[in-house]
Chains A and B, each alone.
Chain A
Amino acid sequence: MNSMPRLFVGIFVVFIFAWVGLVATPYLQLGNMQPEVDPDTGAQLPPVPSGLAAHGSKVYASMGCVYCHSQQVRPEEAGADLARGWGARRTVPRDYIREKPVYLGTMRTGPDLTNIGARQPSANWHYQHLYNPQMVRGSIMPPFRFLFENRKIVGEPSPEALEIPGVAVVPGYEIVPTQDARALVAYLLSLNRNYSLKEAPVD
């Protein structure tokens, strides 16, 4: 192999071959998928997230939640995801059409969050948990106290002030979520892919 053109063409061709296979083809096959529309109500599946939840998805990216939490439910033969109650069905490409970035994840230091909004529908629980994850005994999730404000009560206490089990609030002070925390919790509550799709019915 002493000829530069031959070497170069080889290097080029193998690369483009794989690029067509692994990038271009999936993009053509999956990149333009449309939501499923319910013929009776006209509602779209997957549903369009609220503006606050969309902002929360950015907070999820910023905090790097994906490095510990996946968002994919594998079919029965590929793991115990369904048996653990992480979803009513496996997830399919259509579930993710609105997502960028897509938080499929490759690590389960923490549990899967595909359907956390269905499993844990209480906003208050999420606030408490983000502030003090160790309320789940033995959890190693980092606390996100910096997403909350610990402030002096002026006038009436805020209706959003949190009571956090195991955390004593100084009298005259209150802990309230910041806008980022509200958005993040709205996002978590929006995570519910237990609706039925044609290619993945819930039965």
Chain B
Amino acid sequence: MSAIAEPPSSIHAPVPDSAVGQIASRAMIDASTRLPVLLFFGAALFWLLAGSLFGFVASWKLHSPLFLADWSWLTFGRIRSAHLNAMAYGWASQAAIGVGIWLMARLCRAPLKSAPVLMIATGLWNLGVAIGISGILAGDSQSIEWLEFPAYATPLLFLAYGLIAIWAVIMFASRQVGHVYVSQWYLLAAFFWFPWLYGTANILIQGIGVNGVALGAVNWWFGHNVLGLWFTPIGLAAAYYFIPKVIGRPVHSYYLSALGFWSLALFYSWNGMHHLIGGPFPVWLVTASIVASIMMTIPVVTTAINHHMTMRGHFHMLGLSPTLRFVVFGAMSYTVVSLQGVSMAFRSWNKLTHFTHYTVAHAHLGLYAFFTMIMFGSMYYIVPRLTQCEWRSPRLIKLHFWLSAYGIIAMFGVLSIAGLAQGAWLNDPQIEFIKTVQVTIPYLMARSLSGVALTGAHFIFAIHFGLMLLRLGRTGPEPTYFENKRHDGGAVEGGQ
């Protein structure tokens, strides 16, 4: 086994402690996270459903502009911003916080303290999101991408996040001595980066009043880092935890883990200006981000190899464990979306894809096929450990998986084609502009259909989650697998 090549201190799979005492304390740690984590998950799912409906309305309007056209609060520009913010701050961030809290407690091997503080944070966060989205719909959007929430909503989010970040540092400091697992590096970094990002961006924009193209730079420094230094590290932390956990073997290589982490931190933070290629900015600024984007190949390929080598010989377990299937789908999508992103940062290719639906396809590949799928997988693992019952129905899980997987593949496919056609025609001045609009319409209709599949998947998952909250899950010694039989070859150690 290749893991032998590692230094001894890095027998760092979160798995092997199978002594009875350990399992008991693990159950205790899980129990200590129950209320805050379930609260974050429940709220996240609420916004996932709301955001799906917003997304669907926005999507429909793009091919049928007269749909719901007489209400100002539903105009495309507002409902689209409501969609993005419901998904980014309502769903994705809260799923990330919930998974992050649970992972942090488990990996620190210490029961969670000050649960009430985290629950106050949930309340503040959701109040902030609700006020922010209402503000957007009412017409108070700041109209800065990823920072649309009006100034009266952002302090609530910042305060909530401040509480969470302080909690994370205290939790980390009170951990049981021992190796710090790779997931913890990502978690600690993300919990620290996000409040700094969010605070700085809002202070620069609302306090100091940066304007002009400098505001554009702040905008995309923030917009990109939310993806690269907040969602991505949490998604990777979960993948690094659940893949080894479910298949029951350590992560392939410690050195690759470390290389992947530090190169990501170093290069991703410099990526922001690749959203502004060709724009009115000094050449050095955009070029710095293009170079950093290309350097991203290092962490991406490193992580891909590390995960692949960990999985090697265990791919059959994708047929068994729901957690593994969602998380591996997400981890593979991470490689794909990132390599695609690298290609999009080249000036030559960006010239074709910038300003088109191709970017929107990439956006959903990243936030959905990578991030959201990993969050789903993590929740399938975590929730039963908090509610003390097992998922009711493997068929519902299967349906959820296939609707999500086919839905996102379809959405990605049709939007990519639409974007390439749109981009090619935009670049040909002989072609009338309106043709670049018309060519996308059939694909936009197909995207609406893919949105129905995704929305359906989300409702199924939410109902299943609701049953778990009501303790209407199965009771029984076995976690819910896709097949009833436990696979005899590999031990499914961590459950699921």
Residues of A within 8 A of B (CB): 1-2, 4, 7-8, 10-12, 14-15, 17-19, 21-23, 25-27, 29-31, 33, 60-68, 70, 72, 74-75, 78-80, 83-84, 90-93, 95-111, 133-134, 136-147
Contacts and interface: CB of A to CB of B under 8 A. Distances in A.
Contact of A11 (B189, B278, B281): B189
A93 B218 CA distance: 14
A97 B214 CA distance: 9
A1 B258 contact: yes
Contacts of B242: none
B450 interface: no
Contacts, number: 229
Contacts of B62: 109, 140
B262 interface: yes
B172 A4 contact: yes
Identify the interface centre among B61, B142, B200, B280: most chain A CB within 10 Å of its CB: B280
Interface string B130-146: 00000000011111110
B168 to A, nearest CB: 12
Interface of B: 9, 61-63, 65-66, 69-72, 75-78, 80-81, 139-145, 172-173, 178-180, 185, 188-189, 192-193, 196, 200, 204, 209-219, 221, 229, 258, 262, 265-266, 269-270, 272-273, 275-282, 285, 288-289, 347, 351, 354-356, 359-360, 422, 426-429, 433-434, 436-438, 441
Contact of A93 (B142, B196, B212, B278): B212
Contacts of B71: 146
A19 B199 CA distance: 13
A96 B212 CA distance: 5
Contact of B77 (A65, A80, A111, A134): A65
Contacts of A109: 62, 437
Contacts of B213: 26, 30, 93, 96, 102, 104
A46 to B, nearest CB: 10
A-B pairs with lowest CB-CB distance, top 9: A64-B77, A18-B269, A61-B143, A78-B278, A83-B429, A100-B211, A108-B355, A62-B139, A74-B278
A72 B142 CA distance: 19
A106 B145 contact: yes
